[in-house]
């Protein structure tokens, strides 16, 4: 499966990738996106099976990215990996079509729990 | 009407302990009293919180400490080099996650800005800051409400 990791922090993209490997998902293909606008372009060109996105990003936030995808009829599975995990944000994410929200700081177990049914 | 609590040092310290323990795999012990905690050449990360409470969090540390924090975050060995953009990125991201925890603890409808990083000496000793120890070196964290910036008490 192909997974897009969208985060404006290169360091955080590396940490998400490392944590995915630690959670047992390292055999999948990963594509990095540097913000929401870049992720929107790469969803169109890469046709991923999953998008893992930060919330707070320049150019286009994660929630704007998700709403743009759903607004254009794209139903790619989508989850947030973000430093903010309030109930309000979880409700907003779910209402927009996100499958899960993993709050930073996270552990491999958080990814395993959120993704095991989807990625196996 | 929703009321908000201003973040205090105990709340911020708890957030730092959580972030350092889970992302940097280090303890965040309080800096010992009476020991100088100043340095000349360092980095300062800043992030804004907006909503029921308005202000900034600042994290300031020596440049070498910032490089060590970046290495710990990336999970690389102590002798491996880290590019300066990654050092800035890492220190900003650490404060971003601390800010996310603080924002969540304040509650209500709040927004967190994007982190920024710039060169800075340590805060002056007259400035109130929480100081924690990173491998025997000081890291300053300040809570700066907008009212303080405007000169209000």
Residue B2 has pLDDT above 80, yes or no: no
CA of A110 to nearest chain B CA: how many angstroms apart? 12
C-alpha pair distances (Å), B135 with each of A112, B1, B78? 32, 44, 12
CB A104 within 8 A of CB B100: yes
Tell me the C-alpha distance between B90 and B73, whole Å: 7
Pairing of strands B42-50, B111-112: antiparallel
> 82-111 in A: which are within 8 Å (CB) of B?
82-86, 88, 103-107
Interface subset of A 12-51, CB within 8 angstroms of B:
12, 14-15, 18
Instruction: Give the integer Cα–Cα distance in Å for B69 and B123.
Output: 19
Q: Please state the domain extents for chain B.
A: 9-148
pLDDT tier, B152 (very low <50, low <70, confident <90, very high otherwise) = very low
DSSP state at residue B53: S
Q: Which residues of chain B lie closer than 8 angstroms to A8, CB-CB?
A: 114
Please, which residues have CB within 8 angstroms of residue A99's CB and are 6 or more apart in sequence? A77, A78, A79, A114, A118
Q: Are A81 and A106 spatial neighbours (Cβ–Cβ below 8 Å)?
A: yes
Q: What is the CATH number of domain B9-148?
A: 3.40.1550.10
**pLDDT tens digit string along B99-113?**
999 998 887 788 999
Nearest to B145 by CA among B94, B104, B85, B102: B102
Residue with tokens 């899960």: A100
Per DSSP, B136 falls in state T
A56 vs B contacts (CB less than 8 Å): 96, 112-114
Residue of B nearest to A81 (CA): B97
> What residue of B is the nearest CA neighbor of A106?
B22
CB–CB of B74 and A14 under 8 A? Answer: yes
Kindly report the nearest CA distance between residue A44 and chain B, in angstroms. Answer: 26
Q: Does B101 touch chain A (CB under 8 A)?
A: yes
Given a cut of 50, whether residue B80 has pLDDT beyond it is yes
pLDDT in tens, A93-103: 999 999 999 99
- Confidence at residue B107, expressed as pLDDT on a 0 to 100 scale: 78
Strands (E), chain B: 29-30, 42-50, 55-62, 111-112, 116-120, 130-134, 137-145
Q: Which of residues 8-67 of B touch A (CB under 8 A)?
A: 18-19, 22-23
Residue in B76, B95, B96 to test binding to A, most A beta-carbons within 10 Å = B96
Cα B36 to Cα B125: distance, rounded to the nearest angstrom: 9
**CB A97, CB A63: distance < 8 Å:** no
Q: Which two tokens stand for residue B145?
A: 């409400």
Task: Give the ipTM of the model, two decimals please.
Answer: 0.89
Q: Give chain A positions within 8 Å (CB) of B101.
A: 83
Phi, psi of B138 (to 5 degrees): -80, 140
Task: Provide the sign of the torsion angle of the four alpha carbons A77, A8, B23, B114, taken in this order.
Answer: negative
> Model confidence over B16-72: pLDDT tens digits?
999 999 899 999 999 998 888 888 889 999 999 999 889 999 999 999 999 999 999
Does B94 lie at the interface with A, CB-CB under 8 angstroms? no
Could A10 and B23 be called an inter-chain contact, meaning their C-beta atoms sit closer than 8 Å? no
* pLDDT at res. B148: 63
């Amino acid at each position: 499966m192909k997974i897009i990791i969208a985060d404006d922090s290169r360091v955080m993209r590396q940490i998400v990738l490392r944590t995915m490997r630690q959670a047992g998902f390292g055999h999948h293909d990963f594509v990095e996106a540097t913000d929401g606008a870049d992720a929107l372009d790469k969803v169109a060109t890469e046709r991923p099976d999953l998008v893992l996105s930060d919330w707070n990003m320049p150019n286009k936030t994660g929630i704007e990215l998700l709403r743009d995808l759903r607004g254009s009829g794209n139903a790619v599975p989508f989850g947030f990996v973000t430093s903010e995990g309030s109930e309000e944000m979880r409700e907003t994410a779910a209402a927009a079509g996100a499958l899960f929200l993993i709050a930073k700081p996270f552990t491999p177990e958080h990814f395993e729990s959120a993704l095991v049914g989807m990625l196996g | 009407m929703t009321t908000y609590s201003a973040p205090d040092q105990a709340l911020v310290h708890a957030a730092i302990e959580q972030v350092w323990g889970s992302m940097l795999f280090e303890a965040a012990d309080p800096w010992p009293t009476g020991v100088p905690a100043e340095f000349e050449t360092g980095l300062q990360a800043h992030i804004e919180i907006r909503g029921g409470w308005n202000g900034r969090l600042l994290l300031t540390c020596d440049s070498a400490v910032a490089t060590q924090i970046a290495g710990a975050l990336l999970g690389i060995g102590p002798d491996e080099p880290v590019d300066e953009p990654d050092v800035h990125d890492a220190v900003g991201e650490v404060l971003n996650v601390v800010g996310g925890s603080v924002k969540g603890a304040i509650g209500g409808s709040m927004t967190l800005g994007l982190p920024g990083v710039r060169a800075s000496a340590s805060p002056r000793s007259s400035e109130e800051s929480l100081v924690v120890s990173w491998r025997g070196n000081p890291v300053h964290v300040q809570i700066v409400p907008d009212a303080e910036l405007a000169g209000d008490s």
